[in-house]
């Protein structure tokens, strides 16, 4: 049975770095206009954005620095905790080399940063995401290793980047999920999210119409790339995929397109019920926990049962929250991808 390892003091340094660097970067970002500004978008898109002022999108640089640091440490043989695992051959095959993943991480961040600054059409965004993920295939081709795992990582990467980007639709939603999802697989990444999330959930304390910082597309894409670091983190995608799958069906039935943003997400329904941002984020994490633990248990025990039970339990909780909340009224549609 897997056991929790002793706490690594280096994780505290990652937490402190993210906690201290986020507000400093936010100040710099406001001066450089690296922000999600509701004053620069169309009236229809503004209806989807609740903040009343520009919010710096600085979560990406925080995750990039922490992720690259973790991967360099792994490259040099320094593993930072994580739950003890009995890795099978397929797990090892689907775990990319630290150098390859670091390149993918940097490219995914760059695509997200570009999207935050300039905005990309859905087709161009998908194209550049493919470019960012191409090192998986190129590395396999040049090394002579099997293309199967590389193609699987490429495909999963497209899913991961877009699923987490659409799940980043409410304050703290993706950051809190990142804490839970990476805590047993990539503790340094979980600590980076832990240091960032207080600045992503402080809108009520600030009282000026928005939190200190957003993840932005750069942060969501970086998080999506980090999911690919180990199969043990893949279950983090379960709740975002359930939400995205439901939304795709609802939007299509409403005559819209799956990639056109609105306020139909589960988080928006919970917020509409009067819950705080912290409560909304906490309930979504609670939905994800059974799938996260079941997946880890399945990989450690090399049997599928716990993963199946965990995913079904998370699905039941997800549907229960939907059944206890009302769909929003008129949901303005936005002419850009989420």
List pLDDT tens digits, range 232-263: 999 999 999 999 999 999 988 888 888 777 78
3-state DSSP assignment of residue 256: coil
Q: Which among 20, 62, 21 has a CA at the least distance from the CA of 226? A: 62
What are the tens digits of pLDDT across the range 194-204?
A: 999 999 999 87
CB 190 within 8 A of CB 183: yes
Both tokens of 90, joined, read 């397929």
Taking the C-alpha atoms of residue 73 and residue 299, their distance in angstroms, rounded to an integer, is 24
Examine residue 13 and state whether it is found in any structural domain, yes or no. yes
Taking the C-alpha atoms of residue 311 and residue 309, their distance in angstroms, rounded to an integer, is 6
Q: Which among 15, 328, 334, 63 has a CA at the least distance from the CA of 214? A: 63
Higher per-residue pLDDT: 205 or 164: 164
DSSP character string of 202-245: -HHHH-SSS-S-B-HHHHHHHHHHHGGG-GGGGGGGHHHHHHHH
Both tokens of 247, joined, read 């939304």
Examine residue 335 and state whether it is found in any structural domain, yes or no. no
Taking the C-alpha atoms of residue 337 and residue 317, their distance in angstroms, rounded to an integer, is 28
Mean pLDDT, residues 82-108 taken together: 83
Mean pLDDT, residues 20-30 taken together: 95
Examine residue 73 and state whether it is found in any structural domain, yes or no. yes
Taking the C-alpha atoms of residue 204 and residue 108, their distance in angstroms, rounded to an integer, is 31
Q: How confident is the model at residue 335 (pLDDT cuts 50, 70, 90)?
A: very low
Segment of 31-40, 80-89, 103-112, 176-185 carrying the highest mean pLDDT: 103-112
Q: How far, in whole angstroms, is CA 153 from its chain's centroid?
A: 16
Q: What is the pLDDT of residue 247?
A: 92
In angstroms, what is the C-alpha Rg of the chain? 19
Q: Which among 231, 230, 226, 264 has a CA at the least distance from the CA of 245? A: 264
> Which neighbouring-strand residues pair with 57?
214
CB 167 within 8 A of CB 210: no
**Is residue 332 pLDDT above 50, yes or no?**
no
The region of weakest confidence among 71-75, 112-116, 153-157, 179-183 is: 71-75
Q: How far, in whole angstroms, is CA 32 from its chain's centroid?
A: 25
Taking the C-alpha atoms of residue 280 and residue 284, their distance in angstroms, rounded to an integer, is 6
Mean pLDDT, residues 131-159 taken together: 93
Q: How confident is the model at residue 46 (pLDDT cuts 50, 70, 90)?
A: low
pTM: predicted TM-score of the whole model, two decimal places: 0.90
Higher per-residue pLDDT: 213 or 44: 213
3-state DSSP assignment of residue 47: coil
Domain extent at residue 305: 9-323
Mean pLDDT, residues 164-190 taken together: 94
Q: Which among 82, 51, 60, 17 has a CA at the least distance from the CA of 229? A: 82
Q: What is the pLDDT of residue 206?
A: 73
Total domains in the fold of the chain:
1
Taking the C-alpha atoms of residue 323 and residue 325, their distance in angstroms, rounded to an integer, is 6
Both tokens of 31, joined, read 């001066």
């Amino acid at each position: 049975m897997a056991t929790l390892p002793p706490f690594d003091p280096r994780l505290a340094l990652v937490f402190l770095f993210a906690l201290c660097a986020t507000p400093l970067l936010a100040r710099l970002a406001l001066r450089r206009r690296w922000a999600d500004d509701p004053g620069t978008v169309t009236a229809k898109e503004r209806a989807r954005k609740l903040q009343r002022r520009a919010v710096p999108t600085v979560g990406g640089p925080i995750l990039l620095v922490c992720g690259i640091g973790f991967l360099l440490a792994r490259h040099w043989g320094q593993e930072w905790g994580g739950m003890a695992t009995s890795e099978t051959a397929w797990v090892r095959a689907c775990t990319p080399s630290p150098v390859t993943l670091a390149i993918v991480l940097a490219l995914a961040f760059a695509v997200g940063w570009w999207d935050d600054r300039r905005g990309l059409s859905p087709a161009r965004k998908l194209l550049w995401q493919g470019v960012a993920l191409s090192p998986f295939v190129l590395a396999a081709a040049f090394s002579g290793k099997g293309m199967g795992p590389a193609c699987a990582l490429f495909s999963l990467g497209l899913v991961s980047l877009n699923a987490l980007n659409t799940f980043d639709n409410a304050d703290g939603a993706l950051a809190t999920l990142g804490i839970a999802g990476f805590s047993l697989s990539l503790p340094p990444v979980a600590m980076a999210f832990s240091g960032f999330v207080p600045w992503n959930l402080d809108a009520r304390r600030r009282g000026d119409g928005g939190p200190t910082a957003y993840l932005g597309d750069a942060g969501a894409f970086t998080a999506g790339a980090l999911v690919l670091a180990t199969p043990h983190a893949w279950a983090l995608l379960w709740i975002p995929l359930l939400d995205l799958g439901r939304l795709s069906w609802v939007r299509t039935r409403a005559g819209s397109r799956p990639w056109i943003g609105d306020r139909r997400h589960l988080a928006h329904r919970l917020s509409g019920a009067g819950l705080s941002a912290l409560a909304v984020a906490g309930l979504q994490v609670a939905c994800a926990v059974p799938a996260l633990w079941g997946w880890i248990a399945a990989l450690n025990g090399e049997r599928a049962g716990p993963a199946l039970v965990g995913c079904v339990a998370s699905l039941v909780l997800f549907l229960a929250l939907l059944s206890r909340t009302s769909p929003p009224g008129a949901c303005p549609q936005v002419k850009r991808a989420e």
